[in-house]
Structure formats: structure tokens, C-alpha cells
Structure 1
Amino acid sequence: MPLHIATPLIESRPLSLAAGCEVWAKMEALQPSGSFKIRGIGAACAHHAAHGKRRFVSSSGGNAGLAVAYAGRRLGVPVTVVVPETTSATARELIAREEADLVVHGASWQEANARALALVDAETAFLHPFDDPLLWAGHASMIDEAVAAGLPFDAVVVSVGGGGLMAGVAEGLARHGRSAVPIVAVETEGAASLAAAIRAGAPVELPAITSLATSLGAKRVCDRAFRLTKTRPVHSVTVTDGAAVAACTRFLADHRVLVEPACGAALAVLYDRHEVLAPFRRVLAIACGGATATVAQLQAWQAAG
């Protein structure tokens, strides 16, 4: 039995009216861990458990860490999640609620990741937040479900952080002979590592993450995501933090579902009718979710402008 659920695929009339095309939302925010991450991480954890691993270690204080903690509890495998000092109290509480051993270390994800890697031994599986073929194969299942529903979409809109979701979507499209379907890859300004890689002609490391969409806070996009921009249609788009937060607020009002600004980035392209949408008639939007945002936090971000 998979650790993720088959999520609803809904026609969003509010998003369709705003975007000027038909929009169908894959509601990944409804996954048991709160985001799409459980698809790939759940598949990877099940794989490692079946191959004899007796402990899981992750280095994410956000949705990936929460997904590993959830998967470990469900599989009966102990989990250690190393989070940086910047990890919110909400995220820490959610991870601890899943009975994971929580370690706080370092001022950045890179420092937390180094500590996590030092904990790995022969009986331990390390779960990377986004750069792992096992994750991409698991994330591809959302495209399997959309295709099985009979939806003939002509573009997919996704948020991009480290690039794991984008890589999974591309793999899912390839499985069904749809590699020509464009992916609209959306990042927030201040966390746009894919856009920086495209400009540089190779993956580069951002000097810092300045976006409040911390779930998109990978200083360097994974190599796989960058290579996809060379081998298939990918449209890179950046939006402001303000646009991402506004999209979260509108989505909450329209669909009674709270998502993080990292998810709001993709939704902002639709709500603001970005010009990239002009060629498309029916768009599949991945509402990737995010479990660590609160209504109060969303309101504070909006008030801050």
C-alpha cells in the first residue's frame, strides 16, 4: 500500500477565469503529510526498508523532513531529521509529532545536511529532499493519475525549488508519451536557482536565499532539472513574494485550502494571467501544498506587503 493518496483533480473555475484558460488543479496539499513530497519520499523510504535499511535520516526542516518522518512512522522505521536553526516552530512541532528524532544544527540547510550525512551508516538510508531518482519516479505518479483521469492538458504549471517536483513531472509525462507538453517552471525572486542556471548555462549556487518562500530555498537547482531545460519544452518564470502570498490568500478563499508561498508561486502565474499562458487552452496546475504555513503567518506576510 503506497504511503501517498491519489489526490483530487478538480476543475478550478476561479483559476480558470483569472488565467483565461481552463485550469485543473492537482490537489497535492491534501496529501497526509501536507505536500506532494510524500509521493517520492514515501516510495524511496519503502524501497530502502525493503532492502534492509533500519533507519532513515533527512536534512530538511520543511515538507521533505515531515514526509520522511511520516513515512518512517508508517513503516515502523526510526527517523532522524536534522533541521537548521532557522526552521520554524511549526515545522519542528509537526516533525516531532510524527515521532522523529529532531536535531537542530547550523544556520543553513547546507550545515544541517552535512550533519545529517555524518549520521549515515551501513544500516541507514539518507533521504535527500529533492535530488534522487527514486523521488522523481514517485512524484511522477501524480501525472499517472491525471492521465488516467482522461484529462487532455497542454501544459503543466509547477513550482521549482531544488527541482525534484519538476523532474518528477517530466518523468511522468515521458511515461505517457507526453514529453512535448511544456512545463511552466515557477520560482520566487530571491530563490530562483533554475532561472540563474538557465542564464549561466549551467547550475550555479545563489549567494543567498532572500525569498520568504523558504520551501523553494535551494541555492542550487539539481542537475536533472537543469538538463530538462535543454531536452524538452520548459518555460522559466519568476514571481515576487507578494504575488505568491496573494495567490495563497486567494486560493484559500476559493478552495478552502491553505498552501505555502512556495506553492503560491505557481498559482500566482495563473491568478495574474501571466503572458506565458497565452498559447495554452487547458492547464494542469500542481497545487503542491506545504504543511508549515499558518493562517496567521499568511496574514502577517500580506500585511507586511
Structure 2
Amino acid sequence: MESMLGVENKRPFHVVTPVLQSMALSQAAGTKVYMKLENVQPSGSFKIRGIGYFCQQVARDGCQHLVCSSGGNAGLAAAYVAHKLGIPITVVVPRSTSQLTVKRLEEQSAEVEVFGQAWDEANERAMALAEADGWINVHPFDHPLVWKGHATLVQELRDSLDAKPGAIVLAVGGGGLLSGVVSGLQEVGWLDVPIVAVETRGADSFNQAIKAGHLVTLPEITSVAKCLGAKTVAQRALDCAREWPIISWVLDDVEAVKAIERFLDDERMLVEAACGAPLAFLYSGYFRQLQEEGHLSRPLDSVVLVVCGGTGIKMEILQAMKSQLGMV
């Protein structure tokens, strides 16, 4: 155990991901678009940054068992890290979770419990297990240590780019990535870089909260982008919208799924529908629209797209989404 905790606790579990220009996305947006390729992280998404950092800290404090509620990427990140640390973990997943994800969780030696229809119910179960058994609950997006881990993404951008970007485009589900990117921008002194936070209709709890001026709980998640499926965003995400230039944008599932296919053709990478949302924002001309309406500066030297990734996708799942949306 000393070798596990001694070695694994001294280095981050995430890798420094590439920053590459996309010619196709640049052409669509009318400016240089750099892709921050979080889809090549060891667990398949950006989640390993914040969750890896959180798990490291609690492991140092003597954590004996982890529990995490997740329908996908957060659970996979937590299971990957727990396996590396040699700490047992229980991942509570909602019934909407694919068998592909369950299989991958089990491959990381996680105990998987299926509970509830949506993530919110699985999260209540995870919190109950943590309280009853003295386990440490790994929240998928709502914890300062998670945000601190995600902030490393911006530190890498500072080291990779010649100049600060004119905007950052990313997906927002529960708000963990958004909160971390805002923290990172503050840390590196990029205090005037706006963020475009993209959701799909039917999973747009962030947009609804901004419109209402307070947190809003969606009655259900109807979008195919299940990894955006937090019925209520973190309070910190809404606070960020009040202290940072953030543009909230909502688009349709069909646009997100079309963007997945186009991205696969353009960049030879297959990503989840949650990642397809910010891709669609650029492919569909909405970036240019915001510039024409004066919400974003014109011209902008460059834009960074966070390719958040996701492992809950394969061609069979993509075809099923297209069929569900009447696209085939």
C-alpha cells in the first residue's frame, strides 16, 4: 500500500493534453479554433482532472472507501483513480446508464449499484451510503477540490498558446468544468476571456437558472446528451455567471448529434453527445451570430474549444441516437 499511496499520491492522474488547431472548425467559426483534447485523458474525459485531485487529497487523509454517483465519465474517472490508489469504490449509476459504461466501471474493479431513474436519485443514494458507512462521497461536479483540479486545464492552455484566446467554448452539465475553467482563468490572469457555455435542450438546467436568477430543477432530463443530465447545476456555476462574462447557449439534440458525425469525419475522433453540443455551436454558425449581434468581439484572434470527450459512445450508440431523433 505504501508503494500505491506513496507514488500515486505525488503525481496527478491526468495527462497534459494536446492543443491542436482544427482547420474545419476554424473555417466554420471564421477564426482560428484550437481544440483542447480532453478526450485523450486516461479515463476518457476531463473529469479525471478534478476527481483525481479530490481523491488524492482524501487518500492522504486516510480514506478507506470511496463512493461516487455517476451515469458515466465522473464514475469512470473515480474508478480509475481508486484502482490506482488501491482504495475500494462503489459507483452508483442511474438506470439510464449504458451497459458499456457499467462494463468499463467493473473493469476498473468498481462495485456498481444501479439506483434511480436519473443522476440526482443516484446521488442521493451515494450520499446515504457515505453517511451510513463512513465512506467519502466523490461529488461529480460540486466541490472546491474538483474545481481546483479542473483549473489545471487553463494552466496548460497558458503554457501551450502564444497568446490568450478570444473566447473559450465548452459544454456545461452540472457546472464543474465551467467552475474550474473560471478558477483557472482567474489564476493565470486572463480576466477578460469570455466563456460560451453550451447545453442541449432538455438538459439545460444552467440556462434555466440564469434566466430565473436562481437554481432551477428540471422535472426530467429529456436530451440524448445524458452526460449533461444534472437536473440542477451547482450553485457555484450560477455564481460564476454573475462574476464572469459567460454566454449561455442552448441548441437541439439533432444539432449535437450531427456535430458528432462531422467531427468524426473532420478529426477522426468519436465523442459523446455532451461534447457534440459545443462542437455544434461552432459548426452551426452560432459563434458568428454572437459576433454579429455584438455579444462577442470581432475579429477574435483565436477560440479554444474544450473537447470534453466521453467514453459512453460507440457507433452502435450513435446510430441509436440518430434513430431516436428520427435522423435515419
TM-score higher than 0.5: yes
Alignment of 1:157-196 (within 5 A): 157-196=169-208
The answer to whether 1:30 aligns with 2:40 is yes
Percent of residue pairs bearing the same amino acid type: 47
Residues 1:226 and 2:233 are matched in the alignment: no
CA displacement, residues 93-132 of structure 1 (integer Å, 9 cap, x when unaligned): 1111111011112222222112211221575211001111
Higher Cα Rg, which structure: 2
**Of 81, 91, 95, the match for 2:91:** 81
> 2:269 corresponds to which residue?
257
* SS of aligned partner of 2:312: coil
Instruction: Please give the alpha-carbon distance, in whole angstroms, between the structure 2 residues aligned to 1:91 and 1:202.
Output: 33
Tell me by how many angstroms 1:302 deviates: 2.7
Structure 1 position 237 matched with structure 2 position 237: no
1:281 equivalent in alignment to 2:322:
no
Cα RMSD for the two superposed structures: 1.2
Unpaired runs of at least 5, structure 1: none
For residue 146 of structure 1, what is the amino acid of its counterpart?
L
Deviation at 1:151, TM superposition (A): 3.8
TM alignment of 1:9-48, pairs within 5 A: 9-48=19-58
What is the CA–CA distance in structure 1 between the aligned matches of 2:186 and 2:23, rounded to whole Å? 28
Within 1, Cα distance between the matches of 2:82 and 2:311?
A: 17
TM-score (norm 1): 0.97
Q: Distance in 1 between matches of 2:238 and 2:116?
A: 28
**For the Cα contact (< 8 Å) 2:100–2:312, is it kept in 1?**
yes
CA contact 1:61–1:81 (8 Å) conserved in 2: no
Query: Is 2:139 the partner of 1:128?
Result: yes
Shift of 1:252: 1.1
Residue type matched to 1:88 in 2? S
Specify the alignment match of 1:100 in structure 2.
Answer: 110
Alignment gaps of 5+ in structure 2: 1-10
**Residue 201 of structure 1: aligned partner:** 213
Give runs of ≥4 in structure 1 deviating > 3 Å.
none
Q: TM-score, normalised by structure 2?
A: 0.90
Q: Deviation string for 1:60-91 (max 9, x for gaps)?
A: 12100111000100111111001112211111
| Equivalent-residue separation in structure 2 for 1:61 and 1:81 (angstroms) | 9
Q: Distance in 1 between matches of 2:312 and 2:106?
A: 13
Q: Residue 138 of structure 1 corresponds to which residue in structure 2? A: 149
Q: 8 Å contact 1:72–1:78 — kept in the other structure?
A: yes
- C-alpha spacing 1:277/1:169, structure 2 compared with 1 (3 Å): farther
